[in-house]
Amino acid sequence: MKIRIYRWILKLVKAIDQLPKDNSSRIMANQVIRSGTSVGANYIEAQCASSKKDFINFLHHSLKPANESKFWLALLRDTGKLNKDTASSLLIELDEISRILGASLLTAKGRR
């Protein structure tokens, strides 16, 4: 999973580097880079958690920016700043990552 998230982040960075250099693109790019990279950073922290409570907490903190990233990617797509195919590819993979994180969270909480 960490490799999958890492590869998604690499694709995100490449896509963001292709955005126009106008002010609104720069602002949205900063937001999606922050939230997107946070998915990976918090997932890595979850893997190194010192307790089940910490593990659950970091998984939760990985899922939240994943959902935020979906918003920014959709906004970039819908404003025409990001190529629709690129945005779609990133969103599909992020949706799958989010579903896995959500399922892992439920399992860790004992609700599955």
**Arithmetic mean of pLDDT, 71-89:** 98
Check pLDDT > 90 for residue 75.
yes
| Residue whose structure tokens are 């998230």 | 5
What pLDDT digit, counting tens, does each position of 14-66 carry? Answer: 999 999 999 999 999 999 999 999 999 999 999 999 999 999 999 999 999 99
Question: What secondary structure, in 3-state letters, does the chain show?
Answer: CHHHHHHHHHHHHHHHHCCCCCHHHHHHHHHHHHHHHHHHHHHHHHHCCCCHHHHHHHHHHHHHHHHHHHHHHHHHHHCCCCCHHHHHHHHHHHHHHHHHHHHHHHHHCCCC
Percentage of residues in the chain having pLDDT higher than 70: 99
Q: Where are the domains of the chain?
A: 29-108
* CATH architecture of the domain with range 29-108: Up-down Bundle (1.20)
The pLDDT > 90 percentage for the chain reads 97
pLDDT at residue 111 greater than cutoff 90: no
